[in-house]
């Protein structure tokens, strides 16, 4: 099985590669369109901001490449947000393969932004990506922007209200948390993705 990590400038690429290696998969880091198109699985990692992330994909000529993929694709953290239609972060048009608009958490006296640390997952819809996930399992988050709940939501998390922690539409999937930092739960979900 060939797995590629799209080299879109995300700073968590090394830790995602290491998490995959622990599962017995040596993923290639690439920005080569042909290699991405022919891979069995594609992962779009990302840490940073939506505007620079999309600018990098445009600069590499990968926007239409990613939109046209038919194999399983996984966006992680910012990568998940880039799969959506639009992000309020920098008023950025994104890949638009999942019909959602990403918005910033509203900061309150009781709610710090960014949402950072461990939080619980709650299953919303059955999907092979969530196999063996237990209600209330913990995952590790670091983000200031979130995808609202919608028909694409597979699992949610509460932080001043519910938001999408795992999403899917057709062959496109996203995890808002960092599976590579989420211990056994993250490893389990990455394994599920590799088995799709």
Nearest to 163 by CA among 108, 106, 109: 106
Catalytic residue, chosen from 84, 89, 94, 180, is 180
Q: Is 115 a catalytic residue?
A: no
Distance CA 175, CA 186 (A): 10
**How many residues does this entry show for the chain?**
196
Q: Bridge-partner residues for 5, per DSSP?
A: 29, 43
Handedness of CA 21, 52, 69, 100 (dihedral sign): positive
Q: Is 180 a catalytic residue?
A: yes
Catalytic residue, chosen from 77, 89, 94, 115, is 77
Catalytic residue, chosen from 107, 173, 178, 195, is 178
Q: Is 59 a catalytic residue?
A: no
Distance CA 9, CA 120 (A): 28
Residues assigned a catalytic role: 77, 178, 180
């Amino acid at each position: 099985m060939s797995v590629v990590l799209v080299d879109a400038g995300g700073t968590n690429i090394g830790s995602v590669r290491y998490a995959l290696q622990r599962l017995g998969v040596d993923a290639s880091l690439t920005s080569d369109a042909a290699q991405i198109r022919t891979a069995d699985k594609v992962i779009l990692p990302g840490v940073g901001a939506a505007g620079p992330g999309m600018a990098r994909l445009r600069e590499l000529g990968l926007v239409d490449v990613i939109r046209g993929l038919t194999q399983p694709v996984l966006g992680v953290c910012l990568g998940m947000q880039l799969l959506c239609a639009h992000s309020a972060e920098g008023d950025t048009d994104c890949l638009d393969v999942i019909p959602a608009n990403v918005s910033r958490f509203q900061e309150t006296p009781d709610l710090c932004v960014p949402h950072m640390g461990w939080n619980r997952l709650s299953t919303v819809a059955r999907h092979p990506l969530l196999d063996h996930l237990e209600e209330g399992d913990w995952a590790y988050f670091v983000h200031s922007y979130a995808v609202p709940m919608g028909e694409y939501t597979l699992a949610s998390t509460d932080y001043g209200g519910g938001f999408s922690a795992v999403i899917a539409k057709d062959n496109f999937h996203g995890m808002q948390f960092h599976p590579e930092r989420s211990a056994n739960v993250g490893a389990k979900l990455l394994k599920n993705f590799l088995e799709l």
